[in-house]
């Protein structure tokens, strides 16, 4: 039995997401770090912050690995322990979980956890290839699979099994673009219509252009500390009450069922169990919509509706900002953008804003409990966290 809360978030930062021409990953991260430091005047970064745990997915994009100490140096934290985590698009979700372990173990009192990626300078074919490194090379990449194709198989299976429709997928895109239009840091701050989404060009059938998230640059971070130190740094900290992580096969071909993401269900189960919360307790959630089908399946697998009803859930309006269980108020990966290594902690950033009443035009009323679900690959990694406003 682990004593709760696990840790507190006392500040957070996010760079603009999008095509950040002329900036490298190390530079982009400074924007996220500066926001987190500026928002936390009681924190002396050089004195208080004793580590950097950084999600960063691909060394290929900038011909640069070993980004833990590199980024730590560029934000003035050298010589603190700095670690790079790579679990595909769950890289910073995993960094967050390990950051909690660093706090909870007594190794550090305060640590920065973040993520970064720089992709938009690449040709789209190169970016797609580097992202595909997270799929199985010998058995899937090699045969030409990239993630749109792999998620298309998942979508087709779900349509077959549960009569899920393209319109339901498109409704997720419309919702997330609406939310993104309210987020000044989102890459795509524009609404789309259902018709636009449903008639956009096919990328990998049944997935169309607007079913796919974006290739983005961006960075995210949070400042984690021990719960008992939280009030030293912030009047409105939020608390992490549960953490779950699970894995699944890296080959889609190895799975018994494509309509559910087993690692998601297990990670969510563990995060709920640790926190003592249930799906109905969640006021706001950020879940991994790398493709619309991912949000749909995750909304089922984390228990927001019964299996197969993810399409009906979004059509009911329940996942809108003013619905019963608002999902991806930030705009999600779909509209806010998806700088892959930054995405997991960017989800935590949105929950931090929502739970501290700083989400502006997209604020959810009375949000007190939040959930994040960060996916790596097609669910080979899943990481869930539950957050609360009170200790």
Residues that bind its own copies (CB under 8 A): 1-3, 24, 57-60, 62-66, 68-70, 72-73, 77-88, 94, 97-98, 100-107, 133-138, 141, 243, 245-250, 254, 262-263, 266, 376-377, 380-381
Could you tell me if 380 and 250 are in contact, meaning their C-beta atoms sit under 8 angstroms apart? yes
What minimum distance in Å lies between the beta carbon of 72 and its own copies?
A: 5
Helix (H) or strand (E) holding 179: helix 166-181
What minimum distance in Å lies between the beta carbon of 384 and its own copies?
A: 11
What minimum distance in Å lies between the beta carbon of 15 and its own copies?
A: 19
Q: Is 138 exposed, middle or buried (0-12, 13-18, 19+ CB in 10 A)?
A: exposed
**Strand 381-388 and strand 238-247: pairing?**
antiparallel
| Residue 373 DSSP one-character state | E
Contacts of 277 (CB under 8 A, 6+ apart): 241, 242, 369, 386
- Active-site entry in 158, 338, 378, 385: 338
Is 89 a residue of the active site? yes
Q: Is 195 exposed, middle or buried (0-12, 13-18, 19+ CB in 10 A)?
A: exposed
Question: DSSP 3-state assignment of 183?
Answer: coil
Encoded tokens for 288: 């991994």
Integer Cα distance of 164 and 158 in angstroms: 6
Could you tell me if 391 and 4 are in contact, meaning their C-beta atoms sit under 8 angstroms apart? no
Which is closer to its own copies, CB of 98 or CB of 174?
Answer: 98
Which is closer to its own copies, CB of 136 or CB of 283?
Answer: 136
Which is closer to its own copies, CB of 87 or CB of 347?
Answer: 87
What minimum distance in Å lies between the beta carbon of 3 and its own copies?
A: 8
Which is closer to its own copies, CB of 210 or CB of 272?
Answer: 272
341 Cα distance to chain centroid: 9
Integer Cα distance of 377 and 250 in angstroms: 8
What minimum distance in Å lies between the beta carbon of 107 and its own copies?
A: 6
DSSP letter for each residue of 26-48: HHHHHHHHHHHHHT-TT--HHHH
Q: Is 235 exposed, middle or buried (0-12, 13-18, 19+ CB in 10 A)?
A: exposed
Encoded tokens for 244: 């779950």
What minimum distance in Å lies between the beta carbon of 67 and its own copies?
A: 8
Contacts of 391 (CB under 8 A, 6+ apart): 5, 227, 239
- Active-site entry in 89, 212, 290, 305: 89
Which is closer to its own copies, CB of 1 or CB of 123?
Answer: 1
Which is closer to its own copies, CB of 139 or CB of 318?
Answer: 139
Catalytic residues: 89, 338
């Amino acid at each position: 039995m682990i004593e709760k809360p696990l840790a507190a978030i006392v500040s957070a930062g996010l760079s603009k997401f999008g095509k950040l021409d002329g900036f490298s990953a190390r530079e982009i991260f400074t924007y996220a770090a500066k926001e987190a430091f500026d928002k936390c005047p009681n924190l002396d970064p050089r004195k208080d912050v004793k580590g950097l745990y950084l999600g960063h997915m691909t060394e290929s994009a900038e011909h640069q690995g070993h980004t833990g100490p590199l980024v730590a140096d560029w934000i003035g934290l050298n010589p603190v322990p700095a670690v790079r985590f790579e679990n595909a698009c769950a890289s910073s979700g995993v960094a967050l979980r390990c950051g909690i372990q660093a706090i909870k173990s007594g190794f550090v009192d305060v640590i920065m956890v973040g993520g970064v990626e720089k992709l938009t300078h690449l040709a789209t074919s190169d970016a797609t290839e580097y992202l595909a490194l997270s799929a199985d090379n010998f058995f899937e990449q090699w045969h030409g699979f990239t993630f749109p194709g792999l998620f298309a198989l998942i979508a087709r299976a779900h349509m077959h099994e549960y009569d899920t429709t393209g319109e339901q997928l498109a409704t997720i895109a419309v919702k997330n673009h609406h939310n993104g239009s309210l987020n000044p840091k989102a890459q795509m701050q524009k609404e789309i219509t259902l018709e636009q989404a449903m008639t956009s060009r096919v990328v990998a059938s049944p997935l169309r252009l607007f079913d796919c998230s974006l290739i983005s640059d961006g960075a995210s971070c949070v400042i984690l500390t021990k719960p008992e130190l939280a009030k030293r740094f912030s009047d409105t900290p939020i608390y992490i009450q549960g953490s779950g992580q699970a894995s699944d096969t890296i080959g889609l071909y190895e799975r018994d069922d494509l309509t559910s993401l087993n690692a998601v269900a297990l990670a969510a189960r563990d995060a709920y169990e640790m926190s003592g919360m249930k799906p109905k307790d969640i006021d706001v959630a950020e879940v991994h919509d790398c493709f619309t089908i991912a949000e749909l399946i995750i909304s089922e697998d984390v228990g927001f509706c019964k299996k197969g009803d993810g399409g009906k859930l979004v059509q009911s309006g329940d996942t809108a900002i003013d619905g019963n269980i608002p999902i991806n108020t930030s705009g999600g990966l779909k509209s806010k953008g998806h700088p892959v290594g930054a995405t997991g902690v960017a989800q935590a950033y949105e929950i931090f804003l929502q739970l501290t009443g700083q989400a502006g035009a997209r604020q959810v009323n009375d949000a007190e409990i939040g959930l994040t679900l960060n996916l790596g690959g097609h669910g080979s990694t899943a990481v869930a966290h539950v957050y609360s406003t009170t200790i």
